[in-house]
Amino acid sequence: MSHDHRGHDHHRHDHDKRLSTKFHWLFHIRKFWQSDVNRDMLALAAPGEGDRAVDIGAGMGPATVLAARRGASVTAVDPSRFMRTILTMRRPFQRARSRITVADGVAESLPVADASVDVLWTVNAVHHWVDLEAAFDELVRVLAPGGRIVLMDEDFTHPDHPLHASHHDHEAETTIVDVVAIEAALRARGLEATGEKTIGGGVPVKLIRATKPA
Ligand SMILES: C[S@@+](CC[C@H](N)C(=O)[O-])C[C@H]1O[C@@H](n2cnc3c(N)ncnc32)[C@H](O)[C@@H]1O
């Protein structure tokens, strides 16, 4: 009897946790539309006229729409049907809509041909990747010679991050983004790579930049 009772409490606890995660997410919805972190990432990735670009874990497309405006052709990849639906609804309102393609996929299996990408990036998605080694193989596979990569993930573990306290639980459940390990993994695959902890969009971020030799 007491066992059943504890089981019930446990269930409610999980449910409440899921609910609070959803509300937390809704609260930050503006950030999914446009964000300073995405802007600063794009300043580094610098997608330009005619570039073939991939936004991995594009979400609602804050980086995708800006990159398309800059003249790049962007494939926005995301495994979430919900995110893809929102971005697909957002696309017709973009002047650069003909340069935006929304695709189902994950970092570990990109719906993109070999050596066909000039610039790829990901913002706040590396911590969702489940198999980093497979994802790195994919980045190297799709990148054209001379192509570049920018991976930027907000560092919610940093005490200076404004959402440090509220992300504590969430972070514990996701992939750890280790800039030194990622730099080494990309170098081992023949890329020039640097990983660092720095500031992006005014908050602490983890940043990895890499290029494929021409
Ligand atoms: C926090 S959102 C960030 C979205 C967008 N990049 C932004 O900055 O607003 C993380 C996104 O990663 C996507 N995602 C989850 N697992 C993924 C994976 N294995 N590969 C690529 N993207 C993934 C999620 O569907 C979600 O849209």
**pLDDT value of position 62:** 97
62 lines ligand 1 (CB under 6 A): yes
Q: How far is the CA of 43 from the centre of ligand 1 (A)?
A: 20
Q: What is the pLDDT of residue 33?
A: 77
Confidence of residue 8 (pLDDT cuts 50, 70, 90): very low
| Model confidence band, residue 202 (pLDDT cutoffs 50, 70, 90) | very high
Q: Which fold, 34-211?
A: Rossmann fold (3.40.50)
Compute the C-alpha angle 160/126/120, nearest 5°.
Answer: 110
Mean pLDDT throughout 126-154? 97
The whole-chain average pLDDT of the chain stands at 88
Return the residue whose CA atom lies nearest to atom 22 of ligand 1: 57
**Strands 100-103, 73-77: parallel, antiparallel or unpaired by DSSP?**
parallel
State yes or no: pLDDT of 7 exceeds 50: no
Nearest to 154 by CA among 40, 6, 4: 40
pLDDT of residue 170: 54
By the 8 A CB rule, do 173 and 111 touch? Answer: no
Report whether pLDDT(113) > 80. yes
pLDDT of 66 strictly over 60? yes
pLDDT of 11 higher than 90 = no
**56 CA distance to ligand 1 centroid (A)?**
7
Taking the C-alpha atoms of residue 104 and residue 111, their distance in angstroms, rounded to an integer, is: 7
Q: What does the pLDDT average to over 53-57?
A: 98
Q: For the whole prediction, is pTM greater than 0.75? A: yes
What residue ranges do the domains of the chain occupy? 34-211
pLDDT of residue 176: 86
How many CB atoms lie under 10 A from the CB of residue 183? 19
Task: Give the model's pLDDT for residue 23.
Answer: 62
User: For 64-70, what is the mean pLDDT?
Assistant: 97
Quick count: other Cβ atoms within 10 Å of Cβ 89? Answer: 11
Q: Looking at residues 24-31, what average pLDDT do you find?
A: 65
Quick one: pLDDT at residue 34?
80
Flag whether pLDDT at 132 surpasses 80: yes
Ligand 1 within 6 A of CB of 38: yes
**Which residue has the CA at smallest separation from atom 12 of ligand 1?**
57
Residue 152 has pLDDT above 90, yes or no: yes
CB of 107 sitting under 6 A from ligand 1? yes
**pLDDT at 13 > cutoff 70:** no
Is the CB of residue 58 below 6 angstroms from any atom belonging to ligand 1?
Answer: yes
Q: What is the pLDDT of residues 71-111, one digit of tens each?
A: 999 999 999 999 999 999 999 999 999 999 999 999 999 99
